[in-house]
Each structure stands twice: as C-alpha cells, then as structure tokens.
Structure 1
Amino acid sequence: MEELKSAKNARVKEWKKLLTKKGRDQSGNYMLEGAHLIEEALKSDDIIEIMVQNNFTAIEIEQLRKFPVTLISPEISQAISATETPQGIFAVCKKRSAGVNPAVHRKLLLLDGVQDPGNIGTMIRTADAAGIDAVIFGEGTGDLYNPKVIRSAQGSHFHLQTETGSLTEWIQKLKSADIPVYGTALENASPFTEVTPTDSFALIVGNEGAGVDPANLRQTDQNLYIPLYGKSESLNVAVAAGILLYHLRKPI
C-alpha cells in the first residue's frame, strides 16, 4: 500500500483538479469524500482509487483492499478536501454514463437552470426517496459532480439515472413516449392537487429566481402551482419539488 506525505506530490495536484468542473470534465472523474458516501460507492463499480489517512477507522481498511489504496498525510487530506474538517477518506470515481431511456425510466425530474448546489443535491436525494427513475440536468443547471451537490445528495446519485441535455429535446422525447410532462409556474397554472397520481410523469422545476423557462412551459402538458396559505411569497425549489414528486407518483 503506497503512502504519500507531501501535498506537493504530482498525484495530489491531479486529485485537487477534481475539485473544479474543468478538471472533472477533462478527466471524466470526480472526487468523493467521507465515510458514508464511500460506503455507498463501494456498492457500485464507480471507484477508481481510494485515499485514506493512517488514523482513519470508520471503514475497515480490509473492505478497501480490492481497490488501489493510498495512505495520505493530514496535510494531503486538507489539500484535497472540499470541507473545512476532512474526514480523512476520499475516492476518485468515474462519472456515470448517460443511460436514461423513457421506455424504462418513466418517472423523471427535470432541472431547468437550477444553480444552488444544495438545492440540486437535495432534489436528487428527494427524487431517490420518492422512487423517481431519473434526473435530467437541463441548460444552466449546476454540475452533478460539484462536491457540494454530491454531499447534499448523500449517495443518491448512485441509485438513479442522471443525464445532461436539452430540455426542449427531452420534453418532446418524453411526450413521444406517452409520459405526461408537468411544468411549475405561478401564472396560467393549475393547483397540483387537480392532477391524478400516475405511474409515468415528468416534472420540470426551474431556476431559484427566474423559474422554468417560458419556452419550456409552453411545451408541457400542464403547468402546476402549490398554493401558499401563509405570507411567504414562494417555496424553496427543493421543497416544492418534494411536494410535487410525492403527489404525482402513484402510491405503491
């Protein structure tokens, strides 16, 4: 088992690049950090290598031996961490291949320009909990592999399909597959309770400030809103997505 002590090592510099979108795009890999996320990753085929501090005990080292494991110093751990207090275990993983198929994946969440990493990760986690099959990242939406998104999703990106693409094209593709597409809007929309839960649907949620692109709203089968009974002017997009996803899907 190799051991590295200096943060100036060339391999450490390569790991640090994975904290940037450019570095992730160029390599096709991303960084995982923390015991829980790596325990989820161990159930997949995504791990390329693992880096762990000598004093790390939350996961038995024996579980990791089927992967290349590098022991790292606290200095390196701090250098490659996206948090202020690193847990001391990291993994380089390969990005997942696009594989959303409307013939198979019939319950979808579409993100239109959603930018806050916490919101994106929370919606992936909520979609996973609600039994959604896939999440589509439309134009202007943040990066799935941003460290903050990954932390907020809590490993749920391993449990459902994700893909990046044009929402205009995806809306047409979904409608061609007889999957009803619902937008979210404040005007020219119906209360979400008027929609009967089904086995197949796609929900579009939009940018935190601007909402769903009007061009996409014009293509949907129906646009929905959530009534506000208090004095708040709006709901957080991740909260709204959770309410709608659980309503739209037919209970098992």
Structure 2
Amino acid sequence: MDELQSAKNQRVKEWKKLLTKKGREQSGKYIVEGIHIVEEALLADKVLEVMLQRNVHAEYMNRIHSVPVTSISPEISRAISSTETPQGIFAVCKKNSDHIDLKRHRKLLLLDGVQDPGNIGTLIRTADAAGIDAVIMGEGTGDVYNPKVIRSAQGSHFHVPVLSGHLPGWILQLKAAGIPVYGSALEKAEPYMNVGPADSFALIVGNEGAGMDPAILKETDQNLFIPLYGKSESLNVAVAAGILLYHLRKPI
C-alpha cells in the first residue's frame, strides 16, 4: 500500500476541515483519533475510512477489512491531529442520526448550556456508565463532535444516543410520556435524597457558571440540589450529574 506523504494533498485538506464545526456540519462527518476510540467507532459501524501511520500501527493494516485504510506519513498525522502527541491512527466517522422512542428510552440526561468540552464528554461518559438511555444537548450546549468532547467521552458517544434539541419542547414530550423531569439548582429545590430511584426519569443539568435557565427550571416537575458539607461553593457539573444519575436510577 502506498503511503500518502504530503499534508498539502486534497484528501488531507478535507480531513482537516473535519476539525472545524463548520466542516463537520457541511459534510455530516467528523474525525476521531487514538486506538481505543477508533476501535469503538469500528464496533459501532460508524467508520467511513481509517488513516494510520504504518511505522506505528503496521499490525492494523491487515486487521481492518470493513472500511478503506490509508497509510499516512507522520507529517499528515500531525496535520490532522487535535493533540500535541498524535497516536498515529484516525478514523472519519458519520455523524449520528439517532432517534429515540420514549416508550423505550425512559432514562435521560439533558444538558442546558453546558459549554466546556471536557465536561460535555465526561457527562456523556457518565451517562453511559450509569445506564442512561439518551443524552439531549440543549441550545447553548457545545458541539458533541468537538475533538475534546470526543476524547473526554472515550467512545461513550457510540454507546448512547446523543441528540440536539429545544429543551422546552423535550420537556413537554417527556411529561406527555409520563417521565418525571428533574432540574438541578441550589435555590428553591429539594435535597436529592428526598426523591427515590425510579425506572424512568429525566435529569437536566445547567451551565457551569450560570446554572440552568430559570425559565426551564419553572417547567420541571421538581428541582433537586446536592448539599455541600465543606467550604466549596459548588460541584463540577459532571460530578453533580454523576451523583444524581446514580441516585435516581434503580439498581439492576
């Protein structure tokens, strides 16, 4: 197999576009990197093509049969990587077109204006670990296909449907489906221990600094807070979500 050498090649330019939100939106594709995440993408049947450095991952050249594989130079690896130390293996993936059925997807996490890519990825990963059925990204929330989000999620966005949508509309749908909707807030809220675990629920967490939109808080069935016993003023949003999700869901 010939090796693609120059970072000025047209294919490389197309791959580089996928590192931008505009490029991802226009193409309906995004790029992932690293052995673990590429393998998760292959298992999820989301991969369109794989690019790898032969000198680093020669053993993969003959292992991947389901999609095209391109051998790339270290120069190209650096050009299409979003990290300082590329692992030398990448995949172009198709964006999700997930739809959920509220008759089956009964445990949901909704994000209201969460912006930090690391937090978004960790929230998706935490929802996956807690057995949550879907994650809804509300308006003002960052891009799920941002490379930092992908790295933080560690492949969990391939396991859990992640959709974007208008949260007030989703709240109406959830209530109509008989799914209780909980907000998270520090004021005018109940201690989370006052609510028992259930087979179905939707939890909304808000922006790192401002919290949830007050208008959305008014539409929930109940708002919950986590008591703080030390001197810290707040919890990281992903940590708070983890506590609440594991409390709200029934143990298997």
TM-score normalized by structure 1? 0.98
Whether 1:108 and 2:116 are equivalent positions in the alignment is no
User: 1:55 Cα shift?
Assistant: 1.2
Who is 2:16 aligned against? 16
Over 3 Å counting, the alpha-carbon distance change for 1:212 and 1:70 in structure 2 is same
Match of 2:63, SS state, is helix
Unpaired segments of 5 or more residues in structure 1?
none
Number of residue pairs aligned between Structure 1 and Structure 2: 252
Q: Deviations over 1:172-226 (max 9, x none)?
A: 0000000000000111100000001001000000000110111110000000000
Query: C-alpha separation between the residues in 2 aligned to 1:62 and 1:129?
Result: 32
Residue 65 of structure 1: how far off its partner (Å): 2.7
Alignment-derived partner of residue 241 in structure 2: 241
Map of 1:121-140 to 2, 5 A cutoff?
A: 121-140=121-140
What does residue range 166-177 of structure 1 map to in structure 2 within 5 Å? 166-177=166-177
Residue matched to 2:165: 165
Moved beyond 3 Å, runs of 4+: none
Cα deviation for residue 58 of structure 1 reads: 8.0
Report which stretch shifted further, 38-47 or 106-115. Answer: 38-47
Go from structure 1 to structure 2 and tell me whether the alpha carbon gap of 1:2 and 1:108 turns closer, same or farther (over 3 Å shift): farther
Q: Which amino acid aligns with 2:83?
A: T
Provide the residue aligned with 1:44 in structure 2: 44
Q: How do residues 1-252 of structure 1 correspond to structure 2 at under 5 angstroms?
A: 1-57=1-57, 60-252=60-252
Aligned to 1:203, what secondary structure does the other structure show? strand
> 1:99·1:162 contact (CA, 8 Å) conserved in 2?
no
Q: How far apart, in 1, do the equivalents of 2:61 and 2:109 lie?
A: 37
The one-letter code matched in structure 2 to 1:39 is E
What is the rounded CA distance, in whole Å, between the counterparts of 2:2 and 2:102 in structure 1?
45
Alpha-carbon offset, residue 54 of structure 1: 1.2
> Residue 102 of structure 1 contacts residue 177 of structure 1 at CA under 8 Å; is this kept in 2?
yes
| C-alpha deviation, 1:119, in angstroms | 0.2
Identity across matched positions, percent: 73
